[in-house]
């Protein structure tokens, strides 16, 4: 059911984007449409499940206990958010606003390419937490990686057509960055799977350490190569940092989860 709501939310967001494209509306109208779509999802979910909500369970002590128990996940989630947004945040100072716009288009399309996997991981994490063998055996990882490769390959081949249809000829500079950044989806799948698996097994620290190292690598590469290579350099920095992140988490996974006898 949770996955169905995630899909429904993504669907209504897509409808909002399509409506903006048809109406040729501005960014303010888009923001209003997105707000309406999300409010509708919240109301629909509340209406469907309000009979299952027991308000007697809400208490201040339980709230503090929940905050304490989820502190590690909150830190990891915050770092991941910073990691994913830091490039677009500092890029104006490194390349200028026009190049930042080209990078932003590539970044948005790459994020769109992750939506299917995001929905899958949303459904898989409760199963990982419930059944330790699910994560240890890495069930479904090959299928997810295969789909990530096919999505990346498709966008790589048809990048120019996608850019021209969705954004127009004025964003032609986004084609090459998109062809680089779209391959982020493959290591992203491995990063997300191993991160969720380690957290589900109670190993938050290796996930946190790997995230910090990846963030440091990303910042270093952005500062070093973006001024020389522009938006192409920024795209390479993002891809390289995600590959480093995936490698680190893979070794952490082997160290904490995979039995020594099977290595």
Tokens, residue 27: 């960014």
Q: What is the mean pLDDT of the chain?
A: 83
CA 61, 200, 80, 149 torsion: positive or negative? Answer: negative
Kindly list the domain boundaries of the chain, sorted by start residue: 1-53, 72-262
114: helix, strand or coil: coil
What is the reported pLDDT for 261? 40
Q: Give the lowest-confidence range in 38-47, 51-60, 167-176, 198-207.
A: 51-60
User: pLDDT tens digits for 114-137?
Assistant: 877 777 777 777 777 777 676 667
What is the reported pLDDT for 76? 84
CA distance 253 to 198: 7
What is the reported pLDDT for 260? 45
Which region holds residue 53: left if phi is over 0, alpha if psi is between -120 and 50, else beta?
beta
Task: Output the CA–CA distances (angstroms, integers) from residue 47 to 36, 40, 41, 43, 217, in the order listed.
Answer: 16, 10, 10, 6, 45
What is the reported pLDDT for 55? 57
pLDDT surpassing 50 at residue 171: yes
The average pLDDT across 244-263 equals 78
More confident of the two residues 98 and 194: 194
| pLDDT band, residue 161 (cuts 50/70/90) | very high
pLDDT surpassing 90 at residue 179: yes
Angle among Cα 244, 249, 250 to the nearest 5 degrees reads 95
The average pLDDT across 58-73 equals 70
* 20 close to 29: Cβ distance less than 8 angstroms: yes
Q: What is the pTM of this model?
A: 0.77
pLDDT surpassing 90 at residue 237: yes
């Amino acid at each position: 059911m949770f996955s169905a709501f995630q899909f429904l939310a993504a669907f209504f967001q897509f409808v909002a984007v399509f409506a903006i494209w048809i109406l040729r509306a501005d960014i303010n109208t888009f923001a209003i449409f997105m707000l309406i779509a999300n409010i509708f999802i919240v109301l629909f979910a509340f209406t469907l499940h309000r009979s299952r909500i027991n308000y007697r369970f809400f208490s201040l002590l339980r709230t503090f206990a929940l905050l304490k128990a989820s502190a590690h996940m909150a830190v990891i989630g915050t770092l991941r958010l910073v990691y994913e947004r830091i490039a677009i945040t500092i890029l104006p100072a490194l390349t200028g606003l026009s190049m930042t716009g080209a990078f932003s288009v590539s970044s948005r399309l790459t994020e769109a390419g992750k939506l299917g996997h995001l929905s899958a991981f949303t459904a898989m994490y409760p199963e990982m937490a419930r059944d330790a063998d699910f994560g240890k055996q890495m069930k479904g990882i090959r299928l997810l990686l295969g789909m990530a490769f096919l999505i990346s390959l498709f966008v790589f081949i048809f990048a120019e057509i996608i850019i021209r249809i969705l954004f127009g000829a004025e964003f032609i500079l986004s084609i090459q960055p998109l062809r680089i950044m779209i391959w982020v989806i493959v290591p992203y799948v491995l990063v997300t799977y191993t991160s969720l698996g380690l957290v589900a097994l109670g190993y938050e620290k290796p996930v946190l350490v790997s995230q910090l190292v990846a963030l440091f690598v990303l910042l270093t590469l952005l500062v070093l190569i973006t001024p020389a290579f522009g938006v192409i350099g920024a795209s390479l920095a993002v891809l390289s940092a995600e590959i480093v992140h995936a490698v680190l988490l893979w070794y952490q996974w082997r160290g904490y989860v995979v039995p020594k006898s099977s290595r």
